[in-house]
Amino acid sequence: MAQNRIGGQTIVFTKNPPKIISRASIVGKKEGEGPLAEYFDKILEDDLWGEKSWEKAERRMFIETAQMILERAKKEPSEINYLFAGDLLDQIITATFGARSLGIPYYGLYGACSSMTQTISLGAAMIDGGYADHVLCVTSSHFCTAERQFRFPLEMGVQRPPTAQWTVTGAGGVLLSSSGEGPCITHATTGKVIDFGIKDANYMGAAMAPAAADTLKAHFEDTGRGPQDYDLIVTGDLAKYGRQLTIDLLKKEGYDIEDRYIDCGCEIYSEEQDVHAGASGCACSAVVLAGYLLKKMEDGELNRILIASTGALHSTISSQQGDSIPSIAHAIVIEKKG
């Protein structure tokens, strides 16, 4: 019998709850002009960053974020037991080439934009289970690499509908550790793949909202907790309309989260930045968590948060074949102890 499971989808870290001992975030130019600019560690002057391609620029953001996290914790790559990482590109090339440079034992994960909490969930289980002391979790995305893979060439003159979202250029991550100072990961609720038949790739918020609502509901049921037990409930990249749908879906289930709920996709850009519904991408929840939320926890403004990164798991091929967009959300609880 697994002793650390509660309910259908949640695990509790009891023996040795992993701590977040270091964090870092790097973002692109546009993100650096948004309301959270002061929380990011580095802002690129241009999105190519002197590299030969957008993909190489994303890779460098990934590597430098990882190095920054290690420097701050005063750790060498050789001291890190595992790197859990993912990104949006085919065959997760950013994470894999990043792992090649870092030389840390690596599990590459694909969870689309849910990668941040997906990697932290697994990394935390490794530590609490006694299989690791230090696990590095990093994810990244880049507007230009995602746009060309999932949508249109950059220079093509097309209009974006009001529900369209803007992929965040950035990389963010955390170092989980069995010892040291920092907020703890106490629970992880693994999401199911949920699909309510939304096909419009320009309305990802609607595709992912049911997954977010499903995972949050499962978390509340498994733990016996409610929204009032958290200072803040956070979702990954549902943006303006997906956020509203999540509130409504959970209200139907009897949970009112509205007064303590933010979506990372609504936080990164301001209204004037012309991003339509909001932000998306693996880096969306990664940089908001690593830059903004963990800083607020350090400052004592937040003590216990529930964060669920959300991912749309379609590919261009599945979309072209007429399939709808399957989605997922993984939730973790971060709590400041002592």
Binding stretches for other proteins (CB under 8 A) = 28-30, 46-48, 52-54, 143-144, 148, 152-163, 169, 196-198, 200, 202-203, 206, 209-210, 240-241, 244-245, 248, 277
Between residues 18 and 34, which has the closer beta carbon with respect to other proteins? 34
Q: How far is the CB of 170 from other proteins (least distance, A)?
A: 13
Q: How far is the CB of 214 from other proteins (least distance, A)?
A: 12
Between residues 38 and 45, which has the closer beta carbon with respect to other proteins? 45
Between residues 55 and 87, which has the closer beta carbon with respect to other proteins? 55
Q: How far is the CB of 325 from other proteins (least distance, A)?
A: 12
Q: How far is the CB of 97 from other proteins (least distance, A)?
A: 15
Between residues 144 and 218, which has the closer beta carbon with respect to other proteins? 144
Between residues 157 and 338, which has the closer beta carbon with respect to other proteins? 157
Q: How far apart are CA 323 and CA 315, in angstroms?
A: 9
Give the chain's count of helices (H) and strands (E). Answer: 9, 15
In order of 20, 33, 49, 246, 311, the CA distances from 280 in angstroms are 24, 16, 21, 16, 9
- Backbone φ and ψ for 82, nearest 5 degrees, come out as -145, 145
Q: How far is the CB of 28 from other proteins (least distance, A)?
A: 8
List, in order, residues 6 or more apart from 112 with CB less than 8 Å away: 88, 282, 311, 312, 313, 328
Q: How far apart are CA 187 and CA 125, in angstroms?
A: 10
Neighbours of 53 (CB within 10 A): 11
- Per DSSP, what are the bridge partners of residue 327? 194, 312
